[in-house]
Chain A
Amino acid sequence: MPRVRTKVDGVTYEDEVEPRLLLVHYLRERLGKVGTPVGCDTTNCGACTVLMDGLSVKSCSVLAVQADGHEITTVEGLGRGGELHPMQRAFHEEHALQCGYCTPGMIMAAIDLLRENPDPSDAEIRRGLEGNLCRCTGYQNIVRAVRRAAAEMRAGGDADAPAVPRPEAEVTP
């Protein structure tokens, strides 16, 4: 079985895995990183979104072996020293979640959206999160939250921004 070496939320792991093992199942069932849930089996819903070297990926459509040598950030790895990431704070403040099942993926996708576009319009936020489905909120408060986090992160500069590694190079999983 192939060996994979990954760093997940700052911790290095090395494991033998079945070649077909999905990254999300590796995270959930081998590493106990159950903060990242699974909402579908066709990569439509985005609930399992994580960052791989700073770029968002749906971890149900990445094999664990493809994560070899890469750094993964899940919702559990956000924030620093007990402080919430500005995006987490904004989701709370704007009531951008109800059942919360889509929330980990939504937050990770939104962080990646702001990496590409630090000051998105509402329409750009809506388009940018098209790959993440929510059944509870009707999205309006999610859009508000992303706008709020964007303002806060722009104002705070990089120093306060998230403990998310910057991408060094584009990664094609």
Chain B
Amino acid sequence: MTETVVRREIGSPRRRTEDARLITGRTQWTDNLQLPGMCHVAFLRSPHAHARITHVDVSEALERPGVIAAFSGADFAAEQGGLPCAWVVTEDMKHPEHPPMAVERVRYVGEPVACVVARDRYAAADALEAIDVDYEPLPVVTDMERALADGADLVHEELGTNASYTWTFENGDIDAALRDAPVLLERRYVQQRLIPTAMEPRAVVCAPDGDGFTLWSATQIPHILRLMLATVTGIPEHRLRVIAPDVGGGFGSKLQVYGEEVLALLLARRLGRPVKWTESRSEGNLAVHHGRDQIQRLTLAAEQDGTIRGLKVELLADMGAYLMLVTPGVPLLGAFMFNGIYKMDAYSFTCTGVFTNKTPTDAYRGAGRPEATFAIERLMDELAAELGLDPIEVRRRNWIRHEEFPYETIAGLTYDSGNYEAATERALQLLEYDKLRAEQADRRKRGDTVQLGIGVSTYTEMCGLAPSRVLGSLSYGAGGWEHASVRVLPSGKVEVVTGSSAHGQGHETAWAQITADRLGVPFEDVRVLHGDTSVSPKGMDTYGSRSLAVGGIALVNACDKVIDKARKVAAHLLEASEEDVEFTDGGFRVRGVPGEAKTLQEVAAAAFAAHDLPEGMEPSLDADATFDPENFSFPHGTHLCAVEVDTETGFVRIRSYVAVDDVGRVVNPLIVEGQVHGGLAQGIAQALYEEAVYDEAGNLTTTTMADYLIPSAADLPDFTTDRTETPATTNPLGVKGVGEAGTIAATPAVVNAIVDALRPYGVRDVPMPCTPERVWRALNPQGGAE
């Protein structure tokens, strides 16, 4: 281990290195690539939610100007394999074949059935209309509850059921808790389906490259993608290089192995030339995986004083038409979070994954945890209302107190640290909670048509995915470690290679801050490389708020190994014993001998020249480290939302929003605040604006940004953010992760606020998104005047 490190960079609001190219348009998005001989791919997609393909004829498309090739799914049937699902959650999980391009059946609107390769994107798009496909429509299943009824039509006939799996977890005597408790709340909440909507649409370029292929993709997971492409196509892994160049956001949507990526590779192989495919937004809304989509049946048992006894969770989770990379596992990440920050004696969780004729679902920012947090935080407000308690008070009576950490929860996790009291206290101050409650009482008394509501959300989340042994116990198909290497170059400059794959998070800045502190070198002397399997050969990529809490620790460990080696070299140069050499402030000194020192740069030069190294030491100064976390990390916080609800129009205005988050030690407060803001925007958007809507025939009716409403600047308030800092105890930086916190916390805060405003009118729920119409209908259950 190294001695005390002078902290200069960690904690400082460094402006980001990556901005320089992003604000000047010098960014390298995948769609920017132009390669000699490159041709463009367009996909023909199914207009039916469920149909048998009886005939495909691409011959007329081949006659169109500029068309180089055209293929149906059948043309690739022998080599396209099936898209992977890496998370087989139960032994008997039903896992249907999922060809990248449909061959015999289509099962959702937007599924690829044929493709054209042409000289340019216009020619490719034009030729799609010349492809002739005959479909024989089949019955469509869109509703999960009806999908499970006896005699329901089947999405996959050969499976004999629409249920993919049922997964259960139980701890404590839930039946006794429900039987004996004096207070029983039963609720049904729906997590509507969302479309992740990263601003950069998906794009992929693939080029033959000697005896292999290079594939650029707008992906979060270049390493996982390489392995999966090899598995699916049979092309050996070492003949594939995957590059994630600048990637314009992901939010889980680019944590995927998409059919278009597989087909780009197969097309490049078949045609022997580079191909590019870039989706349009309307195409993406149909074919990028969706998120959420759960029906939650919840039973909470409590004492009269508000003490929780037990919680029973019964979930239906919409898988869509197929299982993609981690589709079945997403709702199960929530299984460990429904208990939130609270103590209870009994807990049971059951989740059934259900097939429907809709776009597959998979990870979207928070992935299972927002759904769970919504449920428990809505229930806590309902419990408070039932008992006539303040929602803060009912939480206080149940949460884990700061002196009780580490704490093993009813869901089997060990929360290492936290201070819910401190975060809540700070949030109450910032919102001026008591003052707003007084105003609320006044408005209620006056019968104001605009009512005030205050919503509470005291959340935690498990992030830093994940300890490999835990993933193994959950039958996940890979480990959860991360890799880093640190190379001190002969000139003393430093290259850092990380297996994390940033797509907006700012790793190039934050990783350089960590390295600068750890090695005692200037921030400007560090360059961070990522997102290319040839540059960064090992990695598990970026998702689940894991980059800092796992990848950042791998980096720390690699830096420490560099210092350990450098100390040996320095001791040799200083003619001292290694034990007597200390490393402080970027230099090696003999303890108690002032003056004489060797800088890291001098040591690097000596290690490079190798003229005079200790006996048996290898030249060069670099190190690799792989870190596998021992536990998850558990950020937490208290979010308070105040809304004004117009009881005549149903319009909701967020008046103020306070977020106090505890994400442990902070490397860059600017980046952390930005992540919180963006997370809040997406969480609020689920509460108020966004929903992927399907009609009865299985058509997505929100295919464009005109229909699927992601909020604009005019739709969102200014946020008040602050932090408490309770370091994680399970990693040397004390960091926890921040990528998903805002999204997890915000949705229940907003809905709780709306319901709080409307309780005097007998309203106890408003389905999401809480549009003016839905709020109005909640106020007017009889329909009222049209």
Q: Who on chain B is nearest to A47 by CB?
A: B199
CB distance from B660 to the nearest CB of A (A): 16
Given contacts A42-B704, A101-B200, A140-B718, contact A135 B249 (CB under 8 A): yes
Q: Which residues of A contact B277 (CB under 8 A)?
A: none
Instruction: Say yes or no: A35 contacts B24, CB within 8 Å.
Output: yes
Instruction: Say yes or no: A99 contacts B248, CB within 8 Å.
Output: yes
Bound Cα distance from A47 to B31, whole angstroms:
14
Bound Cα distance from A101 to B198, whole angstroms:
9
User: Residue B716 contacts which of A28, A104, A138 (CB distance < 8 angstroms)?
Assistant: A138
Q: Which residues of A contact B687 (CB under 8 A)?
A: none
Instruction: Say yes or no: A103 contacts B22, CB within 8 Å.
Output: yes
Q: Which of A96-125 contact B (CB under 8 A)?
A: 97-104, 107, 122, 125
Q: Which of B483-508 contact A (CB under 8 A)?
A: 503-506
Instruction: Say yes or no: B24 contacts A84, CB within 8 Å.
Output: yes
CB distance from A78 to the nearest CB of B (A): 8
Q: Who on chain A is nearest to B197 by CB?
A: A135
Stretch from B225-233, B546-554, B673-681 that touches the partner = B673-681
Q: Who on chain A is nearest to B681 by CB?
A: A138
Given contacts A99-B199, A133-B712, contact A37 B677 (CB under 8 A): no
Given contacts A93-B15, A133-B710, A141-B674, contact A103 B682 (CB under 8 A): no
CB distance from A29 to the nearest CB of B (A): 7
Q: Is A126 an interface residue (CB 8 A)?
A: yes
Q: Is B27 an interface residue (CB 8 A)?
A: yes
Instruction: Say yes or no: A38 contacts B24, CB within 8 Å.
Output: no
Instruction: Say yes or no: B713 contacts A95, CB within 8 Å.
Output: no
Q: Is B247 an interface residue (CB 8 A)?
A: yes
Q: Which residues of A contact B282 (CB under 8 A)?
A: 41-42
CB distance from B151 to the nearest CB of A (A): 41
Please classify the interface of chain A as helix (H, G, I), strand (E, B), loop, or mixed, using the class held by over half of its residues: loop
Q: Which of B690-717 contact A (CB under 8 A)?
A: 704-706, 710, 712-714, 716
Q: Is A23 an interface residue (CB 8 A)?
A: no
- Most chain B beta-carbon contacts within 10 A, residue among A20, A32, A79, A135: A135
Render B218-253 as a binary contact track against A, CB cut-off 8 A, 1 for contact. Answer: 000000000000000000000000000011110100
Given contacts A97-B22, A140-B719, contact A39 B201 (CB under 8 A): yes
Instruction: Say yes or no: B719 contacts A138, CB within 8 Å.
Output: yes
Bound Cα distance from A59 to B529, whole angstroms:
33
Instruction: Say yes or no: B19 contacts A100, CB within 8 Å.
Output: yes
- Most chain B beta-carbon contacts within 10 A, residue among A29, A101, A126: A101
Bound Cα distance from A89 to B682, whole angstroms:
27
Instruction: Say yes or no: B714 contacts A122, CB within 8 Å.
Output: no
Instruction: Say yes or no: B122 contacts A99, CB within 8 Å.
Output: no
Q: Who on chain B is nearest to A102 by CB?
A: B199
Bound Cα distance from A154 to B232, whole angstroms:
58
Instruction: Say yes or no: A34 contacts B280, CB within 8 Å.
Output: no
Render B528-554 as a binary contact track against A, CB cut-off 8 A, 1 for contact. Answer: 000000000000000000000000000
Q: Is A166 an interface residue (CB 8 A)?
A: no
Q: Who on chain A is nearest to B218 by CB?
A: A101
Q: Is B29 an interface residue (CB 8 A)?
A: yes
User: Residue B705 contacts which of A35, A36, A42, A139 (CB distance < 8 angstroms)?
Assistant: A42
Q: Who on chain B is nearest to A77 by CB?
A: B25
Instruction: Say yes or no: A44 contacts B705, CB within 8 Å.
Output: yes
User: Residue B704 contacts which of A40, A47, A107 (CB distance < 8 angstroms)?
Assistant: A40
Q: Who on chain B is nearest to A76 by CB?
A: B25
Q: Is B4 an interface residue (CB 8 A)?
A: no
Instruction: Say yes or no: A130 contacts B200, CB within 8 Å.
Output: no
Given contacts A88-B23, A141-B674, contact A136 B199 (CB under 8 A): yes
Q: Which residues of A contact B705 (CB under 8 A)?
A: 40, 42, 44-45, 133
Q: Is A143 an interface residue (CB 8 A)?
A: yes
User: Residue A100 contacts which of B15, B246, B280, B682 (CB distance < 8 angstroms)?
Assistant: B246
Q: Which residues of B contact A143 (CB under 8 A)?
A: 713, 718
CB distance from A77 to the nearest CB of B (A): 9
Q: Which residues of A contact B706 (CB under 8 A)?
A: 42, 44
Render B711-752 as a binary contact track against A, CB cut-off 8 A, 1 for contact. Answer: 011101011000000000000000000000010000000000
Q: Which residues of B contact A103 (CB under 8 A)?
A: 22-23
Q: Is B585 an interface residue (CB 8 A)?
A: no
Instruction: Say yes or no: A34 contacts B32, CB within 8 Å.
Output: yes
User: Residue B23 contacts which of A45, A75, A125, A140 (CB distance < 8 angstroms)?
Assistant: A75
Instruction: Say yes or no: A135 contacts B718, CB within 8 Å.
Output: no
Q: Which residues of B contact A76 (CB under 8 A)?
A: 24-26
Instruction: Say yes or no: B713 contacts A101, CB within 8 Å.
Output: no
Bound Cα distance from A97 to B716, whole angstroms:
17
Q: Which residues of A contact B20 (CB under 8 A)?
A: 92
Q: Is B671 an interface residue (CB 8 A)?
A: yes
- Most chain A beta-carbon contacts within 10 A, residue among B198, B199, B677: B199
Bound Cα distance from A44 to B22, whole angstroms:
21
Q: Is B576 an interface residue (CB 8 A)?
A: no
CB distance from A51 to the nearest CB of B (A): 13
CB distance from B252 to the nearest CB of A (A): 12
Q: Is A134 an interface residue (CB 8 A)?
A: yes
Instruction: Say yes or no: B199 contacts A34, CB within 8 Å.
Output: no
Render B656-694 as a binary contact track against A, CB cut-off 8 A, 1 for contact. Answer: 000000000000001101110111111000000000000
Q: Who on chain A is nearest to B198 by CB?
A: A135
User: Residue B249 contacts which of A20, A99, A138 (CB distance < 8 angstroms)?
Assistant: A99
CB distance from A40 to the nearest CB of B (A): 4
Bound Cα distance from A18 to B25, whole angstroms:
26
User: Residue B24 contacts which of A88, A131, A136, A140 (CB distance < 8 angstroms)?
Assistant: A88
Instruction: Say yes or no: B23 contacts A36, CB within 8 Å.
Output: no
Q: Is A142 an interface residue (CB 8 A)?
A: yes
Instruction: Say yes or no: A139 contacts B23, CB within 8 Å.
Output: no
Q: Which residues of B contact A47 (CB under 8 A)?
A: 199
CB distance from B33 to the nearest CB of A (A): 9
CB distance from B653 to the nearest CB of A (A): 13
Render B620-664 as a binary contact track against A, CB cut-off 8 A, 1 for contact. Answer: 000000000000000000000000000000000000000000000
Q: Is B18 an interface residue (CB 8 A)?
A: yes
Q: Which residues of B contact A25 (CB under 8 A)?
A: 121-122
CB distance from A17 to the nearest CB of B (A): 11
Given contacts A38-B201, A41-B282, A138-B680, contact A98 B713 (CB under 8 A): no
Instruction: Say yes or no: A35 contacts B281, CB within 8 Å.
Output: no
User: Residue B25 contacts which of A74, A132, A139 (CB distance < 8 angstroms)?
Assistant: A74
Bound Cα distance from A129 to B711, whole angstroms:
12
Given contacts A91-B19, A100-B246, A139-B713, contact A39 B281 (CB under 8 A): yes
Q: Is B401 an interface residue (CB 8 A)?
A: no
CB distance from A44 to the nearest CB of B (A): 4
Q: Is A137 an interface residue (CB 8 A)?
A: yes
User: Residue A92 contacts which of B15, B32, B201, B718 (CB distance < 8 angstroms)?
Assistant: B15
User: Residue A142 contacts which of B21, B197, B704, B713 (CB distance < 8 angstroms)?
Assistant: B713
Q: Who on chain A is nearest to B25 by CB?
A: A35
CB distance from A39 to the nearest CB of B (A): 5
Instruction: Say yes or no: B26 contacts A140, CB within 8 Å.
Output: no
Q: Which residues of A contact B64 (CB under 8 A)?
A: none
Q: Which residues of B contact A84 (CB under 8 A)?
A: 23-24
Given contacts A95-B15, A98-B678, A99-B503, contact A39 B199 (CB under 8 A): yes
Q: Which residues of B contact A45 (CB under 8 A)?
A: 199, 281, 705
Q: Is B426 an interface residue (CB 8 A)?
A: no
Q: Who on chain A is nearest to B14 by CB?
A: A95
Q: Who on chain A is nearest to B196 by CB?
A: A135
Q: Is B16 an interface residue (CB 8 A)?
A: yes
Q: Is B153 an interface residue (CB 8 A)?
A: no
Q: Who on chain A is nearest to B506 by CB?
A: A98
Q: Which residues of B contact A32 (CB under 8 A)?
A: 34
Q: Which of B166-225 contact A (CB under 8 A)?
A: 197-201
Q: Which of A48-66 contact B (CB under 8 A)?
A: none
Q: Which of B277-293 contact A (CB under 8 A)?
A: 280-282
Bound Cα distance from A116 to B704, whole angstroms:
30
6 A-B pairs within 8 Å (CB atoms) are namely: A42-B281, A99-B198, A129-B712, A129-B714, A139-B713, A142-B713
Which 10 pairs from chain A and chain B are nearest by CB? Answer: A35-B25, A99-B504, A100-B22, A101-B248, A138-B677, A44-B705, A138-B681, A40-B281, A34-B32, A101-B199
